[in-house]
Amino acid sequence: MATRKPIKKRSVPATATKKKAPPAASAAKRKAAPKVAEVSPEESPGADEAAAEDDSAGDEAAATAKSTGRRATAQSMASKQRDISVSEFFAKNRHLLGFDNPRKALLTTIKEAVDNSLDACEEAGILPEIWVHIEQTSTDRYKIGVQDNGPGIVKKQIPLIFGKLLYGSKFHRLRQSRGQQGIGISAAGMYGVQTTGKPVKIISRISPKKPAHYYEIQIDTKRNEPKILNGAGEGVDIAYGEKGAKDIEKHGIEWVDQPHGTRVTIELEAKYIRGRGSVDEYLHQTAIANPHITLHYTDPEGNVREYQRAADKLPPEPKEILPHPYGVELGRLAAMLAEAEGMSITQFLSTKFSRVSPAVAKKICTTAKVSPRAMTRKLGRPEAEALYHAIQATKIAPPATDCICPIGEELLLKGLYQVVPGEFYAAATRPPSVYRGNPFQIEVALAYGGAAATQNVDKDLLEDLIEETDARTIRQFLVSTFNGLGTDAADRIMKAASLGTRQAPKQLKPKERQRLLDAMQNVNVAEGQTMEVMRYANRVPLQFQQAACAITQTITSTNWRSYGLSQSRGGMPKGPVYIMVHIASVWVPFTSESKEAIASYPEIQKEIRLGLQAVGRKLGMYVRKRMRVKQQGDRRDIFMRYLKEVASAVSEVNGVDRDGLYNQLLTVAKRVTADADMKLDDRGRKIKEPSEETDFGENVLIVDPKTHAAAIKRGPAAVAVAEGE
Amino acid sequence: MAKKKLTTVAKAPKVKLSPRDAKTAERLTGLADRVVSAANNRKDPYVEIPSRTLANVHYSPRKKIIEMGNATNRRQLFDLSQAKAYMRTMLVTSGCKKLIDQGKSTSLRGLFYMLKHTIEGVKENTFDEQGECDTIIEDVEVLLSSIREELHLYAENRGAMVGAITFTDKGDEINCAKMGSGGYAIPSIVEPEVVVFDKAKCKAKFILHVEKGTVWQRFNEDRFWEKHNCILTHGSGQPPRGVRRMLHRLHNELELPLYCVLDNDPWGYYIYSVIKQGSINLAFESQRMAIPEAKYLGLRSIDFERCQLSDSVKISLNDTDRKRAKQVAQYPWFEKKPKWQTEIKKMLSNDFKLEVESLISKDISYVTEEYVPTRLREQDWLD
């Protein structure tokens, strides 16, 4: 019965085994669960029971085998049945952890390392600064290094954290954090060792006064134990300062000198590809959702991209909470009952769960027809079941939601503004809500109008950009220079400029440059562009399985037409829009073990929809207003165009002074299109104070795309993204 | 300005305008003056154009013609959807003024080329197609209640006539009995200044109007007009204004009855309706063009049985035809005529239409020697 606990909480190994194990190995499969439980420091009292169950199952099998004359007997099979180590299991099934292909392996490794670093920094109350370095060592091998300025790890723990699967601090608590399992980084290390044979190298320093520790670790997959390779199994200490730096260099790793922090270096078989689902995208999106971090990223081509922090305050520390009774399943409840020593039912309910007062506990007991003073140990399965149903039938206050730390509307805006080009930004943080007893909170932010950067380029700037770029083709130049410009739009620009795909930007003749400039200004790059969705769970970007995710599903089922965007039925809305949706929860319901898509709970979908609608309404107001301004501008243009014609026609008929009449008509035109005039005056700056005319409510940012630094990526090497306004 | 296509018309370029031209010029100037005064008063300049839609025409049972109502459409310069049309209206105004001042006239296409040019500073033309110019011309006609001829504009010649009549056209004597196989091409302007009738020189007793040139050829070749002492005209389908005006003048000034031989289809009915009552688009000219006494000689929907035609000449009706027929049946001037209702119903129940040429299946000259003479003799027509 207690086996339910690991199955539930460690959904990774348990469900995975269920799927993979052939029927004959069912006994072995059962063994796998207790083995996992062994890893946890507390003893699992259910292990014996599980073993007993196995025995009885074996007897049954043997009985049937005798009567039908099977190929193997229960005894012969029993000799082959043995423990499977978690690490062995994952070594064979590495796709479950996101190491399906070399490309994804690179991303997963970086992701796990960065997530761990961020969690560590935040828990220690340090503003995170992260260095990511990817280096190509041979055609299909990359060396990645991730360093943080976190608290560091004490010497004794380093090998365990990096060299043992399912070892960590985050699993046994109900608290909002990026990592949940304690598998990630050690699995990445294991993958690296398996594919390249190179050990995982870790440097960690906990204080400037103490030397840093340096370890080279391999994971012993058979035993799920770390194997330390250097310093005769003890690791080595590295002194502070000059001497230490030399040592570090000798080991072929880097270390940005910091008073405290950790650097992990893994060499692995991988493939570096830009675009969707890439490391670049992951870091980019991470920077948006975590405006309090500073990120230095060196890609395999040596380009450095820096993301400066937009906020100097850490997000508040998430609180750990007790589980809410609604979210507890029968098996887990039974296990908890068995674990609770010397407690009455009422005590048990009110101390082990949140939001259960003694009065509520009593009510549950009455409904379940169990004596409130009965000792937990004495309760059997039927009583547990009765209790379980009673809990579901009793009205209990929703769980405390202060354990969740949303990013916050202001920081969402800042983060988005810094990284995504646009002219209109809006954000909405929904109040916390609950699904299946787990509190969660939805945040939505939106950036609109980001694709027009090509239109804001003048001749000089284009010359500069062409000078700075190292792109080999014009298409590459356009795509890499203008943030948010897709290859489709780039192709359209090139077609309009009648330039060849293979032409190098630097070799363009002046005439061709002019054509390119004209095309950039005339091609509507927003045409055919669909909404870009960025999904986050506890500040971690989700990059795969977009279609399976509750976020995507809710976006497509929301009607965006009423917010001024075009949308085909059940499709993504069209237009230059970026939208980010963040779900923060103590337990994010993923559809699968690889944490790539959110499960579609109706409560979650409802909250997402409300959040989308909140930003959508503001977007609608802005789009309509912009359209109005544009229309007025168009009107002005059209009138201007015809006024001269009218004036000369009239003067030909009645001989009136042509220019005099023209000027008079011009005055009338100006009066009629006064609205557009007002806008024209404001050009070059913020278009309008939002509060003056249209009340967008709070948390809206309107900028002039012409002056937006994020819109154009300058040069091949680092140009830091400017600080927020 | 764009190139000019001036056609010589036998009208000496006088400094002094004829009274009629002076009146038109005055109206044109008035239009321009209103723009100036609006601009002086900081107001949107606009013109009120009588609406040329079905909603703004009504049938006068007394006069038996279609008349235009009083509804107008305001065309403003400072309206996004109308600015261009307004500009074009002014261009047409100035073009017409120029023609009048110079004492010249031009074709519709000529005016189109005269006014077509690229607007300064943008890649946009004042006019792209002649059709755009033609509608504006019609607007100006109703706006000034001056007809096209008064604006010194004419359309392409269409339609022809032969018959026992002699008249003068721009001083030249035209003997319609000696027009060979082609006939006299009816000009688009047949006003008294151009075409002068002499009652004494008209021997014809009636006018026979046929729909198309091909049928007209048949009648002409058979010298129908000679045998029956009539005038034979056609209008190439929907008769243009010149033909209608000519028929109107022949009918009213020379008191000749008018008979029409048209196809038995909704389109034929409509042509008859236009000749008889006037058209919706040109309702303002009904007075000068409609001939309420015109008679519909054929083809009738009963002709298939009556003339014992073969099945092969049937052309089945399509959806548009059926829809159109029902519309025609509901016109106020047909609505109260039981004979017409039966006629249209019969065609709908036949579910096929008949062209005049279908009578050729009986005999090449069946229509001229048998069909029309019989109808005339028996006075068998629809009114």
Per residue in A454-471, pLDDT (tens digit) is 666 777 878 888 877 777
| Rounded CA separation A283/A307 (Å) | 9
Query: Which DSSP symbol is given to A564?
Result: T
Contact A322, A353 (CB under 8 A): yes
| Contact check, Cβ <8 Å, A667/B93 | no
Q: What is the dihedral of CA A283, A285, A289, A293, to 10 degrees?
A: 20
The answer to whether residues A593 and A695 belong to one domain is yes
The answer to whether residues A359 and A237 belong to one domain is no
B113 is known as an active-site residue? yes
- What residues contact A130, with CB distance under 8 A and at least 6 apart? A114, A117, A118, A146, A147, A148, A149, A293, A294, A295, A296
Cα nearest neighbour of B120 on chain A: A641
Residue type at position B68: M
The answer to whether residues A123 and A37 belong to one domain is no
* Residue A456 domain flag: yes
Q: Where is average pLDDT lowest: A117-131, A490-504, A650-664, B192-206?
A: A490-504
Set of chain B residues whose Cβ sits within 8 Å of the Cβ of A635: 78, 80
Of A63, A83, A103, the domain-final residue: A83
* Residue A311 domain flag: no
Residues of each annotated binding site of A for ATP: 116, 148, 169-170, 179-186, 595
HSE-CB at A403 with a 13 A cutoff on CA atoms is 23
- What residues contact A356, with CB distance under 8 A and at least 6 apart? A325, A349, A350, A364, A396
Query: Which DSSP symbol is given to A400?
Result: P
Q: Of how many residues is chain A composed?
A: 725
Cα nearest neighbour of A644 on chain B: B120
CB contact A634 to B (< 8 Å): yes
CB contact A652 to B (< 8 Å): yes
Which residues does B contribute to its contact with A (CB < 8 Å)? 28-29, 31-33, 35-36, 38-40, 42-45, 77-78, 80, 83-84, 86-87, 90-91, 93-94, 97-98, 119-122, 124, 126
pLDDT of residue B246: 92
Instruction: Tell me what the mean pLDDT of segment A569-585 comes to.
Output: 86
Give A382-438 pLDDT, tens digit per residue.
Answer: 888 888 888 888 888 877 777 788 888 888 888 888 777 778 889 999 988 888 878
| Contact check, Cβ <8 Å, A644/B120 | yes
| Contact check, Cβ <8 Å, B32/A634 | no
The answer to whether residues A346 and A248 belong to one domain is no
The answer to whether residues A554 and A437 belong to one domain is yes
**Confidence bin at A33 (pLDDT 50/70/90):** very low
The answer to whether residues A493 and A440 belong to one domain is no
Counted domains in chain A: 5
Instruction: Tell me what the mean pLDDT of segment A660-682 comes to.
Output: 68
Residue B162 has pLDDT above 90, yes or no: yes
Set of chain A residues whose Cβ sits within 8 Å of the Cβ of B77: 639, 642-643, 646, 665
CATH code of residue A375: 1.10.8.50
Q: Going by CATH, does the domain composed of B19-44+79-154 fall within 1.10.10.10? A: yes
Instruction: Indicate the residue of A661, A669, A673 with minimum beta-carbon distance to B36.
Output: A661
Instruction: Tell me what the mean pLDDT of segment B221-249 comes to.
Output: 90
Of A522, A547, A573, the domain-final residue: A522
| Contact check, Cβ <8 Å, B94/A653 | yes
Q: Where is average pLDDT lowest: A285-289, A456-460, A712-716, B69-73?
A: A712-716
pLDDT of residue A39: 40
**Confidence bin at A160 (pLDDT 50/70/90):** confident
Give A439-449 pLDDT, tens digit per residue.
Answer: 889 999 998 87
| Rounded CA separation B307/B305 (Å) | 6
Instruction: Indicate the residue of B36, B44, B120 with minimum beta-carbon distance to A650.
Output: B36
Give A461-507 pLDDT, tens digit per residue.
Answer: 788 888 777 777 888 788 777 766 667 778 888 888 888 777 788 88
| Token pair 């809710």: residue | A554
Residue A720 has pLDDT above 50, yes or no: no
CB contact A138 to B (< 8 Å): no
pLDDT of residue A528: 64
Instruction: Tell me what the mean pLDDT of segment A602-617 comes to.
Output: 92
Give, in words, the CATH class of B160-378: alpha beta
Of A83, A118, A142, the domain-final residue: A83
The answer to whether residues A497 and A610 belong to one domain is no
Min Cα distance A617 → chain B (Å) is 28
The answer to whether residues A477 and A551 belong to one domain is no
* Residue A307 domain flag: no
| Rounded CA separation A551/A598 (Å) | 7
* Residue A334 domain flag: yes
Peptide linkage before A666 cis (omega within 30 of 0):
no
**End-to-end alpha carbon distance in chain B:** 51
Contact B164, B204 (CB under 8 A): yes
Q: Is B372 exposed, middle or buried (0-12, 13-18, 19+ CB in 10 A)?
A: buried
| Contact check, Cβ <8 Å, B43/A671 | no
Residue A363 has pLDDT above 90, yes or no: no
Cα-flanking dihedrals φ and ψ of residue A247, to 5°?
A: -55, -45
* Residue A278 domain flag: no
* A-B contacts (CB, under 8 Å): 83
Q: Where is average pLDDT lowest: A11-15, A111-115, A715-719?
A: A715-719
**Confidence bin at B9 (pLDDT 50/70/90):** very low
**Confidence bin at A610 (pLDDT 50/70/90):** very high
pLDDT higher at A629 or A658: A658
Q: List the catalytic residue out of B46, B59, B86, B113.
A: B113
The answer to whether residues A457 and A429 belong to one domain is no
Instruction: Tell me what the mean pLDDT of segment A37-63 comes to.
Output: 45
| Rounded CA separation B329/B345 (Å) | 9
Instruction: Tell me what the mean pLDDT of segment B295-313 comes to.
Output: 88
Would you give the distance in Å from CA A421 to the centre of its chain? 19
Residue A548 has pLDDT above 80, yes or no: yes
The answer to whether residues A430 and A504 belong to one domain is no
| Rounded CA separation A670/A106 (Å) | 60
Instruction: Tell me what the mean pLDDT of segment A62-71 comes to.
Output: 59
Range of the domain at A485: 452-522
| Contact check, Cβ <8 Å, A645/B122 | no
Residue A527 has pLDDT above 50, yes or no: yes
Percent of chain A with pLDDT strictly greater than 90? 8
Min Cα distance B115 → chain A (Å) is 10
- Listed ranges A8-12, A187-191, B345-349; the one with the highest mean pLDDT: B345-349
For residue A133, give the 3-state DSSP assignment: strand
CA distances from A221 to A31, A233, B266 (A): 17, 17, 91
ipTM exceeding 0.85? Answer: no
* Residue A289 domain flag: no
The answer to whether residues A332 and A471 belong to one domain is no
Residue A161 has pLDDT above 50, yes or no: yes
Instruction: Indicate the residue of A646, A653, A665 with minimum beta-carbon distance to B28.
Output: A653
* Residue A282 domain flag: no
| Contact check, Cβ <8 Å, B32/A650 | yes
| Contact check, Cβ <8 Å, B42/A671 | yes
* Residue A310 domain flag: no
CATH code of residue A540: 3.30.230.10
Residues of each annotated binding site of B: 211, 263
The answer to whether residues A554 and A440 belong to one domain is yes
pLDDT of residue A712: 57
| Contact check, Cβ <8 Å, A650/B90 | yes
Residue B309 has pLDDT above 70, yes or no: yes
Domain ranges of chain B: 19-44+79-154, 160-378
Tell how strand B57-60 and strand B46-50 pair up. unpaired
Q: What's the whole-number average pLDDT of chain A?
A: 76
